[in-house]
Each structure stands twice: as C-alpha cells, then as structure tokens.
Amino acid sequence: MVDEVSALNTAVKMIQEGIRPPVVYAATGLAKQKLRQMYQEIHGKPAIRGRVPETAHRRLKSFMAVMDATLFFRIYKDLAGHKLFRVMDSNLMIDAYRLYKESVAVHRIDATTAWFLARDLGEKTIEIRRCRLCNNEYLYDKRSDFMQTCLLCRT
Ligand SMILES: [Zn+2]
C-alpha cells in the first residue's frame, strides 16, 4: 500500500511537469488508463498520443541542451548520490528537475528529457567522463554529436 501511495505521488509529480502517460507508466507501473485520467484532470486536456523519443541522446539536439542536461545531472547527483548510477529514482529525479527549473531563466530541457537522461545514466548508456584539461565532469554518449567532449574545452 505504501508503495502504491508513493507510486501515485511520483506519477502526479511527473504529470504536473508535463511527462506523458507512457513514460509515467514506465516509471511507476500504474495502470495506463488511470494515468491518462490523471493527465486529463491535471492539465484539463488529454495527453497527446504518439511515440515519445525514447533516449536522452535523441532528445538532446544541441550543445545548449546538453549544457542544461549537465546542470540537471549535477543537481540530481547532489540529491541522489552515486546510487543514481545503479537505480533510477523517478521521485528524486522530479525534485531535481524542479530545482533545475528554478536555477535557470530559460529551461532548455523538458522533464521528459530529464527522465530519460536519469534512466540512461542508471542503465549506463550515458557515462560521466572527466575532462583532462579542466577537470569538469561531462556527459558522454558515443551516439551523440553533442556528448563526445567536454563542453567547455571541446576536446
Ligand atoms: Zn574541459
């Protein structure tokens, strides 16, 4: 029962941030019909149907977006610690996303992108590397044109 309550709580937070029902289902396992109803109640209109691009590297389409993703990652890591590389915590991820939104004037990544980023970090399809020149951590995904190098040094 506690699990169901916390799954519901997480689902409400995800939907409030505009994440569509299929992704909320993947995160919480709650019934799809119920999630579509929740979306309708929270937003006053049904969720757009159709496929959601399902990896962070497909959703991060510019250096600026990757820069914001890196900022989100730092905030998420402050909250979740190193366990984020083993398990995905959708609830903490939304808390981190809300802090990220408060810390930037214009947010360049949406909550869905942040969710896929958190998932991809947990599944290690995105790695964290450290720049040999400036010692900054950066997101690395060999499939992405924008996640190959340190964003500051571009090497
Ligand atoms: Zn660097």
Q: Has residue 51 been placed in a domain?
A: no
Distance 115 CA to ligand 1 centre (A): 25
Q: Give residue 81's region: left, alpha or beta (phi > 0; psi -120 to 50).
A: left
In a domain, 153, yes or no: no
Residues 25 and 65 grouped into a single domain: no
Determine the Cα–Cα distance for residues 147 and 57; give it in Å rounded to an integer: 8
Ligand 1 midpoint to CA 48 (Å): 39
Q: How far is the CA of 155 from the centre of ligand 1 (A)?
A: 7
Domain of residue 8 covers: 2-43
Residues 34 and 110 in one domain: no
pLDDT digits (tens, 9 = 90+) for 40-64: 999 999 998 888 778 899 999 999 9
Question: How many Å lie between the centroid of ligand 1 and the Cα of residue 137?
Answer: 8
24 and 63 belong to one structural domain? no
pTM: 0.92
> 74 C-alpha vs ligand 1 centroid, how far in Å?
16
The pLDDT tens digits of the residues spanning 94-103 come to 999 999 999 9
The CA 130 to ligand 1 mean position distance, Å, reads 8
